[in-house]
Structure formats: C-alpha cells, structure tokens
Copies of this chain bind each other. A is one copy, B any other.
Amino acid sequence: MKATIITIGDEILIGQIVDTNSAFIAKSLDRIGVEINEIISISDSKEHIMEAFYKLQNTVDLVVVTGGLGPTKDDVTKKAFCDYFEDELVVDEMVLAHVTQLIEGYFKRKITQINKDQALVPSKCTVLHNQMGTAPGMWMKKENTVFVSLPGVPFEMGYLMDNEVIPKVIKEYKRPYIIHKTILTYGQGESLVAERIEEWEDSLPEFLKLAYLPSPGKLRLRLSARGTDKMKLEEAIEEYVCSLDAIIHDIIVGFEEDETIEVVLGKLLTKQSKTLSTAESCTGGKIAQTLTAVPGASKYFKGSVVSYDTAVKIEVLGLSENLIEEHTVVSAAVASAMALSVKRIMKTDYAIATTGNAGPTKEEGNAEVGTVFIALATPNEVIVEEFNFGQPRDKVIDRAVVKSLEILQKEILKKEL
C-alpha cells in the first residue's frame, strides 16, 4: 500500500516554518506498513492542490493532506475538495455542536460566523472528529484513491492521525510488514563506521536495507526489513543486529527507536540509583532542559544552577573571585569549580558544568568563539575537557550539550562493566 503526503501552505514554501507534520504522518503510516513514496509541499492555491490530486489519482492508495483548514480566509483545502469531488459544502450538525461547545463552553467566548463556518464540510465526506480543535478532518474516496484532509496545527493533526486515520487505514487496507531497527552510536563519524562495517554491510540480504543517519555527535544506523513473512523479517533483523554488535560494540549505546542519549542516561542513572545536577553557563540551561524533557527525570535529576552572569558563579555557586580573575571565566579551573560546587549544593553523585563562548562575538581578553570547557564531577574525581565547537551560536550550544551527556555516559558505563 502506497501513500503520498501533501502539506499545504505558502509559509512552508517561503521557509517561514519547518514542516514537522509530514514526519509525524510518515512515521505513523510507516509503522503500520504503509510505504510513503513522496512528500510534497505546495502553495495554498486551489489550482495547485487540485493539480496535485489529479496527478496522484490512482497512482497511490492514500493521499494525506494537511493545512489549509484554519478559520481564516487563506484557507482553500475545503474548496479544492469540493471542486475535485464535484461536491458542495453543508453544515455538519455534530461538528457545529462540538465547535459551539469548545468556543462557548471552554474558551468562554461568543461564537462567531468564522467559528461556525468550521462546521461546513463536503456533503459526501466522512467526517473525522477533531477532539482537539475546531477544524474537522475529512476522508473521501475517488476510484482507487482515498484523500484525507487534516488541520495543520500539529497537535490537532496528531490527534486525528492517532485516533481516526490510522485505525481506519488498519481496518480498510491490507499492508505488508515493515520492521526497522535503529542502532544508536556515539563517538565515531559516518565514514569511519562505514569502513569498520563494510564487510558486514555487503553481506546483507536483498530485503534488508541499511541507512546512515548522522547528527551532531552521534550516528544512527537504521536497518529496515520489508516483506510478507513477519517472523522471517524479525529473525533476520535480530541476526544482523547481533553480528553488527559484535563488530562495533564499543560505540553502540542503544537500540530503541527514538532512543536518545538523554533517555539512555536516564535508564543508567535510575538503574544505578545515582543522581545528577548541572551548573551551566554557555549552555544556558539546555542540558537541564534536555534531561527534564524525559518523563520520570525527577528520579535522578535534582536541578541546575544556570550561572550565566559571573556574579551568579560567585554568589550562588560560591566560586572565588580570585580563581575567576586568575584563570578567566572560560577556563578549565572555573568549569571544575562549578561542577564541584553544584554537586555539593545539590547533593548529587554526578555534576556537569559548562563554561564557554558561544558567540557570535568575542570581547577583548575573552575566549575565542566556540571555545567550551566541560567538567564532570563524579563521586571520586573531576574530569575537564576543552573543545572548540566552531560556529554558529546554536551549533556551539547543541554540541556542548551532546558532548556533556556523552562524557557523563562514558563514565557511567564504566560502572556497568
């Protein structure tokens, strides 16, 4: 079964927003064995939308469209559906009741005509109930292709995919099996890993496909199997992941899809009953934020002192002015002192500290843009490393966050051996 995803909106075509809906829809469909052959972003013009529909008619089984359903005048998806299906808009009483309840009951505002118009849908469509907002989803079939329209607001789209579209696709279509297994590695680059596993990669059977997914500081390897015999696929994935593990065991940190280093770290800290705190200067709280984005982080993460200003390093963390003057703020000595201090203050087993210059400018006497010192205080010692993460600012911050977590993980893994 094949599907195409269409996202509608000039704001995507001029680069004003990043299209995250497509990735969500693609992942949801892929998980139930639907193959996505293309993702297309087009402008919010009725002609473009209909042109895309005509092209896709009978070439794919399913077309999922997002965007162009909001309550404002640049919305055109409904009109395109009406014209394409030679249909007309009618009021759906269920939707109208829901919209009225949402606006008057929940938001405590008087309902307006624009709100009411949300209840207009093509007369022949199957309405997909949007519990999360006012724009309903629509499901319409023409010959061999189903066209689904979803609102562009991410959490409304997500709700409709999970609760309406996926269950309906499962019920109405037969699909092959697709199994992915992701191997998360840290510490070695794409080309080096490729060299190490070349022989293994050459030995993969036809139905197994390997992809390299590099991102700052980490590399994910994704093995995908597609076919009709689920057991055979699972066994093959299992076998090849096992033989891969034997080759690059030293850099593999996890296997779960979407597993990130902060999730892996959380599991390790929980298992070892250890706690963590951070003292952040150049990372500005992003290490704390990354750690606390994981549900259940309160089990091992105590807190952070974001000491952005030098005065906070002295007054809250208790660093000595002399130390800072002697070594400058961006130094190994200050990073170490920050880590030790926050570890003591928050009574944790481990503490990470960062100090650096994320840029974009370098002041007289200060560290070069991109310079970051990362310190890790463990129960027994303090480790400090110096890095230059280059430019621009957001890259420096992101790299410092990933590297900090990597240094901590390496230390914690030693306890696992």
Contact = CB atoms under 8 A, between A and B. Distances in A.
Contact of A212 (B70, B201, B224, B395): B70
A144 to B, nearest CB: 21
Query: Copy number of this protein in the oligomer?
Result: 2
B316 A308 contact: no
Interface stretch (A189-197, A235-243, A244-252): A189-197
B316 A312 contact: no
5 contacts: A72-B194, A285-B286, A285-B306, A303-B308, A315-B345
A112 B192 contact: yes
A280 B284 CA distance: 13
Given A309-B346, A394-B293, A191 B112 contact: yes
B10 A209 contact: yes
Given A12-B23, A22-B41, 11 more contacts: A12-B26, A14-B26, A74-B212, A285-B286, A285-B306, A288-B308, A293-B397, A301-B309, A303-B309, A315-B345, A316-B345
Given A72-B191, A288-B284, A308-B302, A213 B13 contact: no
B298 A308 contact: yes
Interface string A292-317: 11010110011111111101100110
Contacts of A134: 191
A194 B113 CA distance: 11
Interface string A352-373: 0000000111000000000000
Contacts of A114: 191, 194-195
A286 B287 CA distance: 9
Contacts of A328: none
B303 A312 contact: yes
A417 interface: no
A149 B180 CA distance: 28
Contacts of A270: none
Interface stretch (A31-39, A119-127, A166-174, A379-387): A31-39
A11 interface: yes
Interface in A1-57: 9-20, 22-30, 36-44, 48
A59 interface: no
A16 B27 contact: yes
A291 interface: yes
A187 B30 CA distance: 37
A292 B304 CA distance: 15
Contacts of A305: 303-306, 316
